Structure 1
Amino acid sequence: MRAPRPQGVVTRGTTSPNRLRAMDRWIAHWLGPLLREADDPLVVDLGYGASPVTVLELRSRLAAIRPDLRVVGLEIDPERVASAQSAARPPLLEFRRGGFELAGLRPTVARAANVLRQYDEAAVAGAWQTIVGALAPGGALVEGTCDELGRLAAWVSVDAVGPRSLTLAARLNQLDRPATLAERLPKALIHHNVPGEGVHALLGALDSGWAAAAPYAAFGPRQRWQRAVASILESGWPVLDRPARWRLGEVTVAWSAVAPGGPVTARS
């Protein structure tokens, strides 16, 4: 049976070691139970770029959840697929040609990092729908962006119902202020960082909390970030995680709070 024709366009392909570490550990924590219970614990890394390094890292980090977990890296560019074959370790780690249709695979989890950022915003909903439609029942997509070294990142989790959450993540020892994360918002949100939109209000609330927590800087950036996140939770933002995740430089909020055009119900 022939694999379906790849859907999408070739990305720039830039990548580097540990660029997606924050996203990997989020997947392990939030989607770990899903992978543990899956009959076929398959994960697809879509659009891994010119180097397969982040696919290898994803497989290594998720192996702690299930040693039999399989990861398939997908790329539209056949030359990238060919050059990655030396790193393949079938059946646990493979590289194939494919796009949003996921090459006919039915993974439990799909990751698309720094892929849709290169598309028009109008293409995002369709891409999400295509990817999620190719997942195994109950599966999830993690889609987002980060800077070249993984210091700033943001991603959305999406399932058959639609987008569920937004996560912001930063290397706290290099963070000047939370508003800097606006540079790395996913394509679905980056053009909505304007007054009157939820994501703008969220970044503003974090910035205010960060400024108010300046005295905590004496105890390190983790303490300051934790206090900033605690302040938005106290003011009504639907924060889904707790201090153990905040210490890692993360915060995850319900998508309903930042959905484009949605009501801004929380107060910064």
Structure 2
Amino acid sequence: MKPLARSARTAACEDRSRKPRPVGSVTRGTTNPNRLRRVDNWIAVHLGGLLRRADDPLVVDLGYGATPVTAVELRSRLAAVRPDVRVVGLEIDPARVAAAAPAADPPGLEFRRGGFELAGLRPVVVRAMNVLRQYDESEVDEAWSVMRQRLAPGGVLVEGTCDELGRLASWVALDAAGPRSLTLAASLSTLDTPGTLAERLPKALIHHNVPGEPVHALLEALDEAWRANAPYSTFGPRQRWRRSVEAVRAAGWPVLDRPARWRLGELTVAWAAVSPP
């Protein structure tokens, strides 16, 4: 990935009377139906209250890819929380924006050209999945900062990555002050070992999965608990995962979510526990 051609901070502060120039580079565009179902459902549950309280329930889907399917799905899933939610899909490639146009359903769903500057919008939620994966780690903080500056008051950025089928995923939730949590999510029916999630850590963490780093310690603890709770696989992978998360929490990790989410193959911990030194 090439470095940003100009300062993203400068771009984010452009005169609002001018149309912001997209900041960033075109992604590979890989997408599949239901690929982002796990993160969408997490947003609906954990950020549903934020959407319901918002005067303008605007959500940005940044970098939706070569087809608009995941943006369409996001709008559908969040409409169950806030029927008048507005989703704007942003892509830097004009050809992708044009190709997505037939899927638009104003005012609930539209597509525009834009990047990290969020096309000058002030969304209450931003979903940016599989966007920063192609960037250098050194560029992550700046990209995060630019997007966070564009959030509506109280808004949240959800940034992360997943595999092609959405069976393994992880994401960071950030607000105006910075990152606040990390979520790991897996399809338990196909999960071999929690350590497999290392392949899909967010860009800010993926190169820190080495001994001595906090995120490596978390995955090691989860793997160890998974092995220790192998007998519970008799009752299904959900029970095994739940017991594993309970063990991780008992070991002192700041687990933020509850058993209802664990049953879905999720684990959310405070960002401070995994933040790189």
Matching residue of 2:242: 226
Q: Distance in 1 between matches of 2:73 and 2:242?
A: 28
**Pairing partner for 1:8 from 4, 17, 24:** 24
| CA-CA distance at 1:122 after TM superposition | 0.4
- Establish whether residue 206 from structure 1 lines up as the match of residue 222 from structure 2: yes
**Pairing partner for 2:129 from 92, 99, 113:** 113
| CA-CA distance at 1:101 after TM superposition | 0.3
Letter in 2 for 1:67: P
Q: Distance in 2 between matches of 1:16 and 1:218?
A: 32
TM-score (norm 1): 0.97
Write the mapping of 1:40-189 to structure 2, written as runs, cut at 5 A.
Answer: 40-189=56-205
Matching residue of 2:270: 254
Matching residue of 1:236: 252
| CA-CA distance at 1:83 after TM superposition | 0.3
Letter in 1 for 2:229: A
| CA-CA distance at 1:2 after TM superposition | 3.8
Q: Distance in 1 between matches of 2:194 and 2:226?
A: 7
C-alpha offsets along residues 96-120 of structure 1, whole Å, 9 cap, x if unaligned? 0000000000000001000000000
Query: Percent of pairs identical after alignment?
Result: 75
Q: Distance in 1 between matches of 2:47 and 2:139?
A: 26
Q: Distance in 1 between matches of 2:163 and 2:80?
A: 26
| CA-CA distance at 1:32 after TM superposition | 0.6
Q: Distance in 2 between matches of 1:123 and 1:195?
A: 24
Matching residue of 2:211: 195
When the two chains are superposed, the root-mean-square deviation of aligned CA atoms in Å is 0.5
Letter in 1 for 2:81: I
Structure 2 stretches of 5 or more lacking a match?
Answer: 1-16
SS of the residue corresponding to residue 174 of structure 1 reads coil
SS of the residue corresponding to residue 229 of structure 1 reads helix
| CA-CA distance at 1:235 after TM superposition | 0.8
| CA-CA distance at 1:128 after TM superposition | 0.3
Write the mapping of 1:16-55 to structure 2, written as runs, cut at 5 A.
Answer: 16-55=32-71
SS of the residue corresponding to residue 173 of structure 1 reads coil
Aligned residues: 261
Structure 1 stretches of 5 or more lacking a match?
Answer: 262-268
Q: Distance in 1 between matches of 2:198 and 2:167?
A: 13
Deviating 4+ runs (over 3 angstroms): none
Q: Distance in 1 between matches of 2:256 and 2:200?
A: 20
| CA-CA distance at 1:3 after TM superposition | 2.0
SS of the residue corresponding to residue 169 of structure 1 reads strand
Letter in 1 for 2:152: A
C-alpha offsets along residues 50-91 of structure 1, whole Å, 9 cap, x if unaligned? 010000000000001111100000000000000000000011
Q: Distance in 1 between matches of 2:97 and 2:18?
A: 17
